[in-house]
A and B are shown apart, each in its own frame.
Chain A
Amino acid sequence: MWTVLGQEPAVTLLKASLDRNRLSHAYILSGPTHVGKMTLALNLAQALNCQAEAPPCQECSSCHRIAAGQHPDVQIIVGEGERSRGEIGIDRIRSLQSSAFLHPYQGRCRVFIIDGADRLTREAANCLLKILEEPPINVFFLLLAAEPKGVLPTIRSRCQYLELRPMALGKVEMILLEHYSMTKDMAKLLARLSKGRLGWAITASSDNSLLEQRQQRLAELRALAKGDLHQRFAYASQMASQFHSHRGAVQEALGLWRDWWQDLLLIKAECPNLITNIDNENILIEEAEVFSLPQAKDFLSALETASWQLDQNANPRLVLEALMLSIPPWRRREGTEPLAQAG
């Protein structure tokens, strides 16, 4: 049984190739984080090494070991630490290379799962290229990449490309209800927040701190809209100093903020059923009265720009301060009714 959910196209394709014994020696599995890349990769590794008739059975010892990350023939290569920005260095690839030429230890095939093919250093990628060109038999490479553009084009051209897409929100909600026995409200909220990435919803359901952190962040960000310039700049410099050590966290905060403003926009446009932060609907409705539609739209695009600029390695402090300046002023506008209230 393939345990990855909601990735039918990719699974169907892999299954068919597996049945006809026509698997490619290397695949790039791309898709946003938490969409199911690793689960799919592990499933494929299980299918390749499963001892039962309908692989992957999830019951034989081989399947169990692979799922637990303890199979000697399935190696998962991840980046090292936050300091080197999770890059995968050439040493890892060199040791991969020497073990790739040994016969499998226990199973039928050796499978190398490279988690973060977009974070391979240039040297490591070129080293990998060599073995991708002339792979030993019974060796499979599964490259997981959140940003397929970050993978060296020469590597991309030697792998089959499989894209995993986020699921429909309703489907995530249904899976959460059925398989994880959640309350309806919780499932609905997590489905919205996950943006179709089932893995995220599952992690969040077992780890309360994720949701708490989100609430706290939201409170901080909302306070900024009411705060004065001094507070906003203090927050910007705090975030900027965080940026060097924790790139992802800042982008995550911006993403959260973006969702919030998108919700405001949706409420202004009379589409409250589409909002993400459904647990804060009342606050959203309240805030929506403060800002005008153009203001919300402008700030949303300012957020987009800031996030893009940070990706381009602009000075984080400048970008964030500029962003703070474009927060629309907090004043309850009198006499303006929400758009098209009559309709």
Chain B
Amino acid sequence: MNISCLQENLSKGLSIVGRSVATRTTLPITNNVLLATENSRLKLAATNLEIAISCWIGAKIEEEGAITVPARLLTEFVTSLPSDRIDLSFAPRTHTLQLRCARFEARISGMDAQDFPPIPQVGDGVTVEIDPQLLHTAITQVIFAAATDDARPVLTGVHTRLEGKELTLAAADGFRLAVHKSSLISPVAEKTEFITPARSLAELNRLLPDQEEPVKMTVGANRNQAVFHLDNVEIVSQLIQGAYPNYNQLIPQECKSRAVVDALSFQRATRSAAIFARDGSGIIRLQVTPGKMTISARAEEVGDNLGELDANVEGEEAKIAFNSKYLADVLGIIDTAKVALETTSASSPGIIRPLDSDNYIHVIMPMFVQW
């Protein structure tokens, strides 16, 4: 292999694929990054066997070839180089990658590219196209609700459903549920459901803001993998096997009380209540009375606080208590000016949804408290 490329391109590419380099692994070669020439570009790829990211950067190729080298070492070295042209060459016999940039030079011992786990190819299957900004919003609004512990593996993923022209993402961790609907660019041939690990979607989400072309997503026919094609980047994610709970039956169909409040003030009041809630098991109490909503928290031997908001109330008066983190999380991602809080009783789930929008719904289980 004998190529040259720009330091900033290589550095950027390495930082993209570096996110999927394995950290603790039983397969040492997954600590490496694969460098290979492909169609007169340089392909960088890394995988931790759950997510694989490939990235193509422009390069001048004099001789084709492929090698893998330790990702951290290469990334750190390339980052430290001046912004200039880098010449990369590697001798297959010694498995050593040689870098030369300005007046710097390095040799890194690598491993045979043949031993690198092949990046899965997702050929036939269901393919859809999505607007990148829409997808970004959708992922941002559900991903935080996915479970982080492995007690129930399916809940660490985000349930994805493609039906007609609709993409539905849903995540839940047993205490809360977030469901987001958005539209696809063209309708999908068959209804498709699968569970993507939340970690993979988080990586995808980091790259979406810079994306201009529609994102092409393909799900393998046997539902093993999903691949996301971005500009010059490809993310392949293993899918989680198992049956996702039927979350639709968890969403209350009607409510007895509905309060519409200003989203920003609600968020601010929640934040100040959360300070007191910290020492009081995270409990925030919401009370809805005609024309207003009060948000309070108290901690024994610490103190208490009370915030009041103007509210447009329909239906009965209501009381409900939530965990401050769950409330703060959902208010943090809602981008409309007003939000609605819908409740039925102090012991049944509460719903938060942005006003004038049918595409997002967030259900939070209440906490049981003495009023």
Identify the A interface with B (CB < 8 A): 68-70, 72, 75-77, 94-95, 97-106, 136-138
**Are A103 and B27 in contact (CB-based, < 8 A)?**
no
Can you list 12 A-B contacts (CB < 8 A)?
A68-B115, A70-B117, A97-B150, A98-B150, A101-B242, A102-B50, A103-B223, A103-B238, A104-B224, A105-B120, A106-B118, A136-B241
Chain B residues 24 to 62 lying within 8 A of chain A, measured CB to CB, are 24, 26-27, 29-30, 49-50
Distance in Å from the Cβ of A338 to the closest Cβ of chain B? Answer: 57
With beta carbons under 8 angstroms apart, the residue of B24, B29, B222, B240 that contacts A102 is B240
Known: A75-B26, A95-B24. A103 touches B224 (CB 8 A): yes
With contacts A102-B240, A104-B224 known, what are 11 further pairs, Cβ within 8 A? A68-B115, A70-B29, A72-B30, A98-B150, A101-B241, A102-B241, A103-B224, A103-B240, A105-B117, A105-B120, A136-B241
**Are A77 and B241 in contact (CB-based, < 8 A)?**
no
**Are A72 and B49 in contact (CB-based, < 8 A)?**
yes
**Are A76 and B223 in contact (CB-based, < 8 A)?**
no
Chain B residues whose CB sits within 8 angstroms of the CB of A103 once the complex forms: 222-225, 238-241
Chain B residues whose CB sits within 8 angstroms of the CB of A105 once the complex forms: 49, 117, 120, 238
Q: Does B350 contact A (CB under 8 A)?
A: no
Chain B residues 225 to 254 lying within 8 A of chain A, measured CB to CB, are 225, 238-242
Q: Does B156 contact A (CB under 8 A)?
A: yes
**Are A97 and B153 in contact (CB-based, < 8 A)?**
yes
Task: Please measure, in the bound complex, the distance between the C-alpha atom of A53 and the C-alpha atom of B154, giving whole angstroms.
Answer: 34
**Are B154 and A101 in contact (CB-based, < 8 A)?**
yes
With beta carbons under 8 angstroms apart, the residue of B29, B117, B153 that contacts A106 is B117
Task: Please measure, in the bound complex, the distance between the C-alpha atom of A292 and the C-alpha atom of B30, giving whole angstroms.
Answer: 62
Chain B residues 130 to 170 lying within 8 A of chain A, measured CB to CB, are 150, 153-154, 156
Chain A residues whose CB sits within 8 angstroms of the CB of B118 once the complex forms: 106
Q: Does B197 contact A (CB under 8 A)?
A: yes
**Are A99 and B50 in contact (CB-based, < 8 A)?**
yes
Task: Please measure, in the bound complex, the distance between the C-alpha atom of A97 and the C-alpha atom of B24, giving whole angstroms.
Answer: 14
Known: A94-B150, A97-B150, A97-B153. A102 touches B197 (CB 8 A): yes
**Are A137 and B150 in contact (CB-based, < 8 A)?**
no
Task: Please measure, in the bound complex, the distance between the C-alpha atom of A137 and the C-alpha atom of B50, giving whole angstroms.
Answer: 17
Known: A97-B153, A99-B49, A105-B117. A77 touches B26 (CB 8 A): yes
Distance in Å from the Cβ of A328 to the closest Cβ of chain B? Answer: 50
Chain A residues whose CB sits within 8 angstroms of the CB of B225 once the complex forms: 103
Task: Please measure, in the bound complex, the distance between the C-alpha atom of A106 and the C-alpha atom of B120, giving whole angstroms.
Answer: 7
Distance in Å from the Cβ of A131 to the closest Cβ of chain B? Answer: 9
**Closest residue of B by beta carbon distance from A104:** B224
Distance in Å from the Cβ of B152 to the closest Cβ of chain A? Answer: 9
Distance in Å from the Cβ of B150 to the closest Cβ of chain A? Answer: 5
**Are B27 and A70 in contact (CB-based, < 8 A)?**
yes
**Are A101 and B153 in contact (CB-based, < 8 A)?**
yes
Chain B residues 245 to 266 lying within 8 A of chain A, measured CB to CB, are none
**Are B27 and A102 in contact (CB-based, < 8 A)?**
no
**Are A98 and B153 in contact (CB-based, < 8 A)?**
yes
Chain B residues 101 to 121 lying within 8 A of chain A, measured CB to CB, are 115, 117-118, 120
Distance in Å from the Cβ of B219 to the closest Cβ of chain A? Answer: 11
Chain B residues whose CB sits within 8 angstroms of the CB of A100 once the complex forms: 153
**Closest residue of A by beta carbon distance from B50:** A102
Known: A101-B240, A102-B239, A136-B242. A72 touches B27 (CB 8 A): yes
Chain A residues whose CB sits within 8 angstroms of the CB of B50 once the complex forms: 99, 102
Chain B residues whose CB sits within 8 angstroms of the CB of A104 once the complex forms: 224
Distance in Å from the Cβ of B74 to the closest Cβ of chain A? Answer: 21
Chain B residues 6 to 31 lying within 8 A of chain A, measured CB to CB, are 24, 26-27, 29-30
Chain A residues whose CB sits within 8 angstroms of the CB of B156 once the complex forms: 98
4 closest A-B pairs by beta carbon, nearest first, are A101-B153, A103-B224, A102-B238, A72-B117
Task: Please measure, in the bound complex, the distance between the C-alpha atom of A187 and the C-alpha atom of B170, giving whole angstroms.
Answer: 65
Distance in Å from the Cβ of B159 to the closest Cβ of chain A? Answer: 14
Distance in Å from the Cβ of B153 to the closest Cβ of chain A? Answer: 4
Distance in Å from the Cβ of A41 to the closest Cβ of chain B? Answer: 14
Distance in Å from the Cβ of A136 to the closest Cβ of chain B? Answer: 5
Distance in Å from the Cβ of B244 to the closest Cβ of chain A? Answer: 12
Chain A residues whose CB sits within 8 angstroms of the CB of B223 once the complex forms: 103
**Closest residue of B by beta carbon distance from A69:** B27
Task: Please measure, in the bound complex, the distance between the C-alpha atom of A110 and the C-alpha atom of B145, giving whole angstroms.
Answer: 28
Distance in Å from the Cβ of A236 to the closest Cβ of chain B? Answer: 40
Distance in Å from the Cβ of A175 to the closest Cβ of chain B? Answer: 30
Task: Please measure, in the bound complex, the distance between the C-alpha atom of A69 and the C-alpha atom of B150, giving whole angstroms.
Answer: 26
Chain B residues whose CB sits within 8 angstroms of the CB of A69 once the complex forms: 27
Distance in Å from the Cβ of A73 to the closest Cβ of chain B? Answer: 8
**Closest residue of B by beta carbon distance from A130:** B151
Chain B residues 209 to 226 lying within 8 A of chain A, measured CB to CB, are 222-225
Task: Please measure, in the bound complex, the distance between the C-alpha atom of A106 and the C-alpha atom of B242, giving whole angstroms.
Answer: 18
**Are A76 and B240 in contact (CB-based, < 8 A)?**
no
Chain A residues whose CB sits within 8 angstroms of the CB of B27 once the complex forms: 69-70, 72, 75
Interface centre among A69, A98, A100 (most CB of B within 10 A): A98
Distance in Å from the Cβ of A61 to the closest Cβ of chain B? Answer: 9
Task: Please measure, in the bound complex, the distance between the C-alpha atom of A307 and the C-alpha atom of B153, giving whole angstroms.
Answer: 45
Distance in Å from the Cβ of B195 to the closest Cβ of chain A? Answer: 9
Task: Please measure, in the bound complex, the distance between the C-alpha atom of A138 and the C-alpha atom of B224, giving whole angstroms.
Answer: 12
